[in-house]
Structure 1
Amino acid sequence: MSDSISKVKKYILDKNSSLTDTTFLETTDIIENRLIDSLQFVEFILFVEEIIGRKIDIESINIDDFRTLKSINQFIDNSRDDTG
């Protein structure tokens, strides 16, 4: 697991006391399981922006990019490639 995704996982675990490191998998659906609600999502996007070091265009956000740790990892990797 990359350092970036470890930070994302810790962020979500910290927000959800009932969740554990062993129950929160890279394929756990963050949206469907309501691990982040709509208000927290804005804060979460700001957190991801800090990780990737640039702004995310809100109008171009695809919710599926933030659905699982696996998809977030892909989004972060693609964001880094775009800045490359």
Structure 2
Amino acid sequence: MTTATLGIETLRAWLLEKHPDLDTIDDELDLFEHKIIDSLNFVEYILIIEELIDREIPVTPDLMPKTASLAQVRQHFLRGG
């Protein structure tokens, strides 16, 4: 299993733990639009991504689009794995 795949599966498991009513979360699903990530757990979500990549993610205007789906996280933060 690649580092990117492991990272995505770690995030997916965390999201499913937060939403036991869901069976799965598709990589392309917009997590904000479907209220899977909200303002209360966004910071924790970013902290998990930072832990996975072992670096701080700068808060920029494009942070939400870069983290809106698991596919976006893979593209912007986990490409190397």
Asked whether the two chains share a fold, i.e. TM above 0.5, the reply is: yes
Match of 1:2, SS state, is helix
Give the Cα separation in 1 of the matches to 2:56 and 2:63.
15
C-alpha deviation, 1:61, in angstroms: 4.5
Q: Are residues 1:64 and 2:65 paired?
A: yes
Is residue 7–residue 78 contact of structure 2 (8 Å, CA) maintained in 1? no
Using CA pairs under 8 Å that are at least 6 residues apart, name the structure with larger relative contact order, 1 or 2: 2
Report how many residues are paired.
78
Q: Percent identity among equivalent residues?
A: 28
Give the Cα separation in 2 of the matches to 1:40 and 1:61.
18
Structure 1 runs of 4+ with >4 Å offset = none
**Structure 2 counterpart of 1:19:** 22
Match of 1:38, SS state, is coil
Q: Are residues 1:10 and 2:13 paired?
A: yes
Segments of 5+ residues of structure 2 without an aligned counterpart are: none
Q: Could you say what the CA RMSD is over the residues aligned between the two structures, in angstroms?
A: 1.9
**Structure 2 counterpart of 1:48:** 49
Higher helix share: 1
Segments of 5+ residues of structure 1 without an aligned counterpart are: none
- TM-score normalized with structure 1 length: 0.81
- TM-score normalized with structure 2 length: 0.84
**Structure 1 counterpart of 2:36:** 35
